[in-house]
């Protein structure tokens, strides 16, 4: 297998694809659907926000390994952050998966496993889908399904 593929499909990603974390809908939470009609990936992000803090994040849906793992890792990354911190994390994540940097920003921790997506331009939209849905909730602007295509 090529190096690029090993970089893309790291063990952490394969694990989150097989066993996605927080794969559920939060009762009473704010929700936002993300849908990429061209590839059929669909995600429903739900979030419980209390006094400006993200108390809980979850997702449901279907998609490729990159879309599912990214959504799963996102739920872990955003939980406990303030809304402002979560919005900042969104911006950092977007920068990581779209930038041409050789090294991902150091402070993204576990999310850095998704940096390999940069080498696969057609897959950036997969990694970004759940994040854009989360962003809509964080911005308090849930709407028609968001898309990253």
Partner 1 sequence: MAADTVPAVETAARAASIREEFPILGIEAHGRRLAYLDNAATTQKPREVIDAIAGYYTTSNANVHRGVHLLSERATAAFEGARDDVAAYFGAAHRHEIIFTRNATEGINLVAQSWGGRHLAAGDEVLISAMEHHSNIVPWQLACERTGAVLKVVPIDDRGALDMEAFGRLLGPRTKIVAMTQLSNALGTVTPMAEIIRAAHDAGAVVLVDGAQAAYHLPVHVQALGADFYVATGHKLYGPTGIGVLYGREALLDAMPPYQGGGDMIASVTFEKSTWNTLPYKFEAGTPHIEGAVGLGAATRFIRRIGFDWIAAHEADLLAYATAAVSAVPGVRLVGTAPVKASIVSFVMDGVHPHDIGTVVDRMGVAIRTGHHCAQPVMARFGVPATARASLAMYNTREDIDQLVDALHDVRRVFA
Could you list the residues that contact partner 1 (CB under 8 A)?
1-2, 4-5, 8-9, 14, 17-18, 38-42, 62-66, 120, 122-123, 126
**Least Cβ distance, residue 116 to partner 1 (angstroms):** 11
Residue whose tokens read 């979560």: 86
CA distance 55 to 18: 25
- Contact residues for 103 (Cβ-Cβ < 8 A; gap 6+): none
Q: Which is nearer to partner 1, 21 or 68 (CB)?
A: 68
**Least Cβ distance, residue 105 to partner 1 (angstroms):** 24
**Least Cβ distance, residue 9 to partner 1 (angstroms):** 5
Longest dimension (CA), the chain: 48
Q: Which is nearer to partner 1, 67 or 96 (CB)?
A: 67
**Least Cβ distance, residue 54 to partner 1 (angstroms):** 28
CA distance 24 to 56: 11
Please give the structure tokens belonging to residue 84. Answer: 């402002």
CA distance 51 to 115: 32
CA distance 47 to 56: 6
CA–centroid distance for 107 within its chain? 16
Q: Which is nearer to partner 1, 123 or 135 (CB)?
A: 123
**Least Cβ distance, residue 22 to partner 1 (angstroms):** 20
């Amino acid at each position: 297998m090529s190096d690029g593929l090993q970089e893309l499909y790291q063990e952490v990603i394969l694990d989150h694809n097989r066993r996605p974390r927080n794969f559920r809908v939060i009762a009473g939470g704010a929700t936002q659907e993300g849908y990429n009609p061209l590839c059929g990936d669909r995600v429903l992000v739900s979030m419980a926000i209390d006094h400006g803090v993200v108390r809980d994040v979850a997702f449901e849906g279907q998609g490729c390994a990159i879309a599912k793992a990214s959504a799963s890792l996102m739920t872990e990354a955003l939980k406990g952050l303030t809304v402002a911190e979560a919005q900042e994390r969104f911006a950092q994540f977007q920068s990581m998966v779209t930038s041409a940097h050789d090294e991902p920003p150091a402070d993204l921790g576990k999310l850095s496993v998704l940096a390999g997506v940069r080498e696969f331009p057609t897959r950036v939209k997969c990694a970004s889908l759940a994040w854009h849905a989360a962003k809509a909730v964080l911005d308090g602007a849930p709407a028609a399904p968001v898309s990253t295509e």
